[in-house]
Structure 1
Amino acid sequence: MASEKFTCNEVVGCLFADPDSEGEYLPLENDGDSFTHHASDASLPCNGAAGQSLDLHQAQMNPLPNVDGPLPNVSAGNNVSRGRSLHQEVSRRVSDVGNEAESYVGVQSLYSTSQLASLSSDHVPLRNCSDSNVAEHLSNSTGDVRRGRSVNRTVRGQRGGRGSRNENSLHSARARGRSGRAARSRSRGGVTRGRGAMHSLVQDDGNAGFEYLANEEQYQSWITPFDQPIGYLGERELSNANSPLDFLSLFLSDEFWNLLVIETNRYAHQFLASHQLQPHSRFHQWSDVTVSEMKAFFSLHLSMGLVEKSELEDYWAEYWPTATPGFGNVMSRNRFEMILSFLHFTNNEEYVDRGQPGYDRLFKIRPIINLVIPRFSAVYGPSKQLSLDEMTIAFKGKSTLKMYNPNKPDKYGYKVFVVSEAKSGYVLQWSMYTGQNRPNANADFGATHLVVPELMAPYTGKGHEVYMDSYYTSPAIADELASNDLGLCGTVSSNRKGMPKGLTREQLSLSKGDDPVFMRKGKLLACAWHDTKRFTMLSSLHSNTCVRKRIRSKHTDSGYREINRPVCVDDYNSFMGGVDTADQRMKTYLFPHRSRKWYNRIFNAILSVSMVNAHIIYCSCTAAPHKPLKVFVQDVITALLEGFSRKESNKGRKSSSLGDMPQRLTERHFICQSDGNPDCVVCSDRTRPKGRRQTKYMCRQCGVGLCVVPCNERYHTLKHYKKCHLDG
């Protein structure tokens, strides 16, 4: 189809028409007052990817005299030049006129910030065109078939429907103004190419009120200056003179130990009264536990985190390479396992059935949570920066609270929402996830919309900053925290409700090395950037400033490259890892053995978090050098054993008059020939290759296979008789 030529005024009228008017054009001829009314007083330079699409609009014009004249025929040419030549010609003529004027007003001032982003060097925005031939001309001038379809759809939208392409239908569409604009907002325009943002031919309202930032802004902080006390806040003075147990007692008070003793003894009596025990059951030997014995029990409990073995019984085993005699010196194996079996934290008689008012999924562990967790924030004041993230308490048993996350190291377990100090990892708030059926949940925002305000409630109005990942971050959360004088910064999913569509992958193509793209809405700043991968940030604390960073790179000779990193990204990398630090330290010396009781695993996690928090307070209250966490735990174990003495009745089988000597060392023994070929109990070891040793002889009194020489003598004279293959 042959294209027609238009005068510059006709096309400029289409470009700069007021989108809110119905069929009216912006005065352009000899009307400086009307022109400057729509323009700002100054023209600021643009930066970033969004600013690259504005280079063709830097022409200055005021007023505009005669710019009439035919524009070139752009229906021919390659795909790139055909799509741009019309716009370039208009910009050139406007620039020529502006250079001759005495006063200058930037062309970009005609646009709002959001409208500026929609202009690019690849297409011409269409607004209230007065001639259907303009649309046909633009459609034919675009070599890209898909882009041509988008333009045609846009023009048909401006006509208010799928009417014919004659002049009358276009004028009727202009008369129906609102329906034409509604259709334009539903149409999909072409996109720009290169490093700039991929914007629609027609500016729509899909950015949820966000506007592009074309130049660096002067950010003014709105948050309250932080002046809260930092560190230990308890009433009792703590210093180097205090033992590590004094710091742990800030969380595990006397009330904690009394609760464990009362509920453990109560549960033991309830169990023994309701069960018929086997004749040889060790539970027949149960006696009530005391506070000192409970502390000794937990000293062994903590020691097992320092010395990991595959089974509980191995801590009392006497095999010489792996023997740990300290456990047997404190408590017998049977006594330890009995206390572990009856360890309890609440009265089962107060349990409320599922579906009844007052039902609590965490009933078994609720007293410990209510007693210990509030102490975390009561005795310690955090610094300005906080981290919010989740922990996973590993558990593979049967529980309705168990979750599966394939992206976590511990794929099965309980999810816990945690707020911690960003710098030290001190845990301040700790809340277990028990399901999405929360009473005040809002279906429009999801479960995290309630979790975040609840966790951050103690820190509202104090000037804190909280950093979180995309699981929690959303514009709704950021606005709610900002209303409570709390700043937020975190990664966010670009398709979150309330996020601008202009930063999505479909509308904004970014590659490694591109400048970040920023958009603002009130206090909220949205940023899209491609570093090692593409991501989006949301912050109520930062401006669109960047810092120059030197990072490693294998593609350069020096091994480094420089990048422009947004300040919000730099702060996020610095302050987001608080919960991860706490999680790592908490699991370093965690009780390593499994339990079928789901609440035991949660209790062990709370105990370990309390130990890490106590160590952080110890480091803040004492002078350097500080004890590492391992030595701190060892000192706590030693302090828990003070005042405890092992009961004689709990030593196990009563020994003879010779003390603890076994029977094989105190009586007369005789060797006889065996009916078969048993393994020698002294020198045979099936756990190593070729370690099995068989014999034809055995001890008649002991009933075990023995070699005549030297195993018979070794077995009946040595307490630790097992022969090592290294002995020769």
Structure 2
Amino acid sequence: MLFDETDTEESGDSESDMSSLDNGFSRMQFESSSSEEQVTYDGDDDVDSQVWSEIESESDIEFSEGYGMIEEVPANSEGSAINPIDCYRHFTTDEIISLMVRETNRYAEQHVQTQELTRRSKTLQWKPTTNEEMLKFLGIIIQMGLVRMPEIEYYWSKSKLFGSEVIQNTMSRDRFELLLKFFHLLNNQEEHADQDRLFKLRPLLDSLRARFKSIYVPGSVISIDESMVPWEGRLLFKQYIPGKAHKYGVKIFKLASTNGYTWNFMVYTSKQAPTAGLGHAQTVVLDLADGLLECHRTVVVDNFFTSISLTESLLQNDTYLIGTLRSNRARSGQGVVQKKLKRGEVYWLQSNGGIKLIKWKDKRDVLMISTKPSHSATLVDTGKTNKANQRIMKPSVVLDYNKGKQGIDLSDQLSAYYTCLRRSKKWYHTVAFEMIFGVSIVNAYLIYKEYYGTNIMTILQFRESLVRSLLLGVPFKNVKPGPRERSTSQTKRKLADHELEQMEESGRDVRRRCAGCYAKIRENSLSQGKYEVHTGVQHDVSNEKVKISSDETSSSGETLIS
């Protein structure tokens, strides 16, 4: 969640019992956008014994780890160029497709053998599926996200208002509904951990997580936040977060890079048992970031995760943290929390261990926590102005927070475009489809842009390319049309009476005019005496103002109207 003024996001699952700061705060600084005055503060009883002094920002330790693509995408399609389908199949591998086929066939056979079916039941029409058919099934679901219809059966409608020819030519409605009904990812008859509420999704989640980590490594800044998969049915671990677009659903913790690539994720089912005295939020951050620590990365989180204890743990792993902080977690930094500020003022203090608490007053109070040495109370020009044409100034920690937090927001935004999610009776279908058709497609799209640049195609064109490859067998080539040629040939003029002619430059902006239409208007106007011509002046005739220039005279002596 980004903020321009303040971050007041709350969550019912937060941990309020966080450890206090062991190494007492020792320094602070005060600055206002309208004044350069430096003042000292004695603080409250638990910190006033410390020595206070002004402090200058220091340089951050340089990020010391490789990042970006670490596994090349093979060009499986025709030609040597990488196509969108190659990037998508790099995540949804043959092993994952085979898993879908194997468990879907197994579940359908178990259903036929254990259920009492009538003679007219469509289930009796079931035939085992294959990898090729499963890929077409996935392509149809992606197409349904591109072209939304009220109900699934409308895609096979014969009405002129509805129907999709590409879907109808690929698969019958009965076959699609059977595949959707029996879509499965695990053998129900196998034993599973009693406490694992995600056992139906475990093979898929583990496979995708491994693929996400093996292909791309985030850069120096990563963000961790919550995402919601919409679900309003009954579910033991359904969550309610009022600040999200989908307030009810299954919560997924994500770790993403600044470009929106999801590197790791964790589906929330219940609070985990505390690990070595760590709180739930702290455990989530450390688990998600495992493998990215100890190289001076910066983790950006909101006030659901931040605490002094988490900050200390990350510092011990050579990792910086930037985030908003709830006032009840500041503990020994209550001197900052309780300080009254005027709008535009910044107040801060720093601990002996390098933890900084920064309070900034905009329309409301903003309390930030940071461990980056370069952060200070100095206000930075954002390059923007307010309604009064005054420069907008913000602390650098706020700017870095907003910039770093964009990763999760961008991932959720791209996933929400042309979503394939529909109402379902099975919650695990909804979560599985979000991972297959949401997160995986977004990651594949970002990997494709790593090869060809950020403006190669939109997420809509990328999804369209996947549909073309999966359903039609033709990869989509994104060829941007060049400028149309301007033709003045007499041949084309004979074929069409309308053609734009280039007007002479007169030191002002001029529009091109149609030669054929303009000639007819000029001829009719002069022959009917509609205009009175007065050279070099502006004259109003028939409620129309016409300007005649003395130099616009044809070779035959006619005066031209311009």
**TM-score, normalized by length of structure 1?**
0.57
Q: Distance in 2 between matches of 1:314 and 1:295?
A: 21
Q: Distance in 2 between matches of 1:623 and 1:588?
A: 20
Counterpart AA for 1:587: A
Distance 1:117 1:643, change over 3 A: closer
Matched, 1:226 2:226: no
Structure 1 residue aligned with 2:353: 522
Distance 1:248 1:636, change over 3 A: same
Structure 1 residue aligned with 2:375: 543
SS at structure 1 position matched to 2:269: coil
Distance 1:462 1:311, change over 3 A: same
**Where in structure 2 are the equivalents of 1:103-142 lying within 5 Å?**
116-118=40-42
Q: Distance in 1 between matches of 2:452 and 2:353?
A: 45
Question: Which whole-Å deviations, capped at 9, do the CAs of 1:279-330 have from their partners, x for residues lacking one?
Answer: 3211111111111111111110110110111111111112102232221111
Distance 1:636 1:210, change over 3 A: farther
Aligned match for 2:232, one of 396, 401, 415: 396
Q: Distance in 2 between matches of 1:398 and 1:210?
A: 54
Aligned match for 1:440, one of 274, 285, 288: 274
Matched, 1:298 2:138: yes
Q: Distance in 1 between matches of 2:199 and 2:187?
A: 9
Counterpart AA for 1:461: E
Structure 1 residue aligned with 2:308: 475
Confirm or deny: 8 A CA contact 1:467 1:575 kept in the other structure.
yes
Q: Distance in 2 between matches of 1:368 and 1:45?
A: 50
TM-superposed CA distance for 1:643, in Å, is: 7.2
Q: Distance in 2 between matches of 1:259 and 1:452?
A: 30
Counterpart AA for 1:384: S
Distance 1:446 1:46, change over 3 A: closer
Confirm or deny: 8 A CA contact 2:222 2:407 kept in the other structure.
yes
Q: Distance in 2 between matches of 1:247 and 1:231?
A: 15
Q: Distance in 1 between matches of 2:356 and 2:318?
A: 16
TM-superposed CA distance for 1:576, in Å, is: 1.1
TM-superposed CA distance for 1:397, in Å, is: 1.4
Distance 1:563 1:270, change over 3 A: same
Distance 1:52 1:46, change over 3 A: farther
Question: Which whole-Å deviations, capped at 9, do the CAs of 1:52-73 have from their partners, x for residues lacking one?
Answer: 9987xxxxxxxxxxxxxxxxxx
SS at structure 2 position matched to 1:390: strand
Structure 1 residue aligned with 2:263: 428
**Where in structure 2 are the equivalents of 1:262-281 lying within 5 Å?**
262-281=102-121
Matched, 1:465 2:308: no
Deviates more, 1:527-536 or 1:595-604: 527-536
Counterpart AA for 2:428: Y
TM-superposed CA distance for 1:526, in Å, is: 0.7
Confirm or deny: 8 A CA contact 2:222 2:299 kept in the other structure.
yes
Confirm or deny: 8 A CA contact 1:308 1:592 kept in the other structure.
no
Distance 1:481 1:528, change over 3 A: same
**Where in structure 2 are the equivalents of 1:578-589 lying within 5 Å?**
578-589=407-418
Structure 1 residue aligned with 2:459: 629
Question: Which whole-Å deviations, capped at 9, do the CAs of 1:582-640 have from their partners, x for residues lacking one?
Answer: 00101112213211101011111111111111111111112575122111111212222
**Where in structure 2 are the equivalents of 1:490-569 lying within 5 Å?**
490-496=323-329, 498-504=331-337, 507-541=338-372, 542-544=374-376, 545-554=378-387, 556=388, 560-569=389-398
SS at structure 2 position matched to 1:278: coil
Counterpart AA for 1:448: A
Counterpart AA for 1:610: S
Question: Which whole-Å deviations, capped at 9, do the CAs of 1:67-121 have from their partners, x for residues lacking one?
Answer: xxxxxxxxxxxxxxxxxxxxxxxxxxxxxxxxxxxxxxxxxxxxxxxxx512xxx
TM-superposed CA distance for 1:499, in Å, is: 4.9
Q: Distance in 1 between matches of 2:150 and 2:308?
A: 48
TM-superposed CA distance for 1:236, in Å, is: 4.7
Structure 1 residue aligned with 2:498: none
Deviates more, 1:542-551 or 1:278-287: 542-551
Q: Distance in 2 between matches of 1:416 and 1:393?
A: 8
Matched, 1:575 2:416: no
Counterpart AA for 2:41: A
Q: Distance in 2 between matches of 1:360 and 1:294?
A: 27
Distance 1:52 1:567, change over 3 A: closer
Confirm or deny: 8 A CA contact 2:343 2:362 kept in the other structure.
yes
Structure 2 residue aligned with 1:48: 31
**Where in structure 2 are the equivalents of 1:17-36 lying within 5 Å?**
none
Q: Distance in 2 between matches of 1:454 and 1:596?
A: 31
Distance 1:327 1:549, change over 3 A: closer
Aligned length: 441
Q: Distance in 1 between matches of 2:199 and 2:383?
A: 52
Counterpart AA for 2:426: K
Confirm or deny: 8 A CA contact 1:515 1:529 kept in the other structure.
yes
Q: Distance in 1 between matches of 2:367 and 2:325?
A: 6
Q: Higher strand share goes to which structure?
A: 2
TM-superposed CA distance for 1:217, in Å, is: 1.2
TM-superposed CA distance for 1:251, in Å, is: 0.9
Q: Distance in 1 between matches of 2:324 and 2:163?
A: 50
Matched, 1:618 2:454: no
Q: Distance in 2 between matches of 1:210 and 1:538?
A: 20
SS at structure 1 position matched to 2:291: helix
Confirm or deny: 8 A CA contact 1:210 1:521 kept in the other structure.
no
Structure 1 residue aligned with 2:469: 639
Structure 2 residue aligned with 1:204: 45
TM-superposed CA distance for 1:520, in Å, is: 3.5
TM-superposed CA distance for 1:484, in Å, is: 0.7
Confirm or deny: 8 A CA contact 1:474 1:498 kept in the other structure.
no
Q: Distance in 1 between matches of 2:454 and 2:57?
A: 42
Distance 1:434 1:367, change over 3 A: same
Q: Distance in 2 between matches of 1:456 and 1:210?
A: 34
Distance 1:341 1:45, change over 3 A: closer
Matched, 1:590 2:426: no
SS at structure 1 position matched to 2:345: coil
Q: Higher helix share goes to which structure?
A: 1
Q: Which structure is richer in relative contact order (CA contacts within 8 A, separation 6 or more)?
A: 2
Q: Distance in 2 between matches of 1:578 and 1:349?
A: 40
SS at structure 1 position matched to 2:346: coil
Q: Distance in 2 between matches of 1:45 and 1:606?
A: 46
Larger Rg: 1
Distance 1:216 1:546, change over 3 A: farther
TM-superposed CA distance for 1:517, in Å, is: 3.4
Q: Distance in 2 between matches of 1:499 and 1:349?
A: 54
Structure 2 residue aligned with 1:215: 54
Matched, 1:405 2:241: yes
Counterpart AA for 2:31: G
Confirm or deny: 8 A CA contact 1:351 1:363 kept in the other structure.
no
Question: Which whole-Å deviations, capped at 9, do the CAs of 1:489-547 have from their partners, x for residues lacking one?
Answer: 1111122054511122xx31123222333444421111001123211010011331332
Question: Which whole-Å deviations, capped at 9, do the CAs of 1:629-681 have from their partners, x for residues lacking one?
Answer: 1111112122223679xxxxxxxxxxxxxxxxxxxxxxxxxxxxxxxxxxxxx
Confirm or deny: 8 A CA contact 1:418 1:429 kept in the other structure.
yes
Counterpart AA for 2:236: T
Confirm or deny: 8 A CA contact 2:386 2:392 kept in the other structure.
no
Q: Distance in 1 between matches of 2:392 and 2:141?
A: 50
Cα RMSD for the two superposed structures: 2.7
Question: Which whole-Å deviations, capped at 9, do the CAs of 1:398-455 have from their partners, x for residues lacking one?
Answer: 2112111222221110111111011x1111111111111x233466x53101111111
Counterpart AA for 1:633: R
Aligned match for 2:90, one of 242, 246, 250: 250
Structure 1: state its 5+ residue gaps: 1-43, 56-115, 119-198, 645-728
Distance 1:316 1:605, change over 3 A: same
Confirm or deny: 8 A CA contact 1:211 1:521 kept in the other structure.
no
Distance 1:414 1:211, change over 3 A: farther
Q: Distance in 2 between matches of 1:270 and 1:216?
A: 70
Distance 1:216 1:240, change over 3 A: farther
Confirm or deny: 8 A CA contact 1:211 1:520 kept in the other structure.
no
Distance 1:519 1:229, change over 3 A: closer
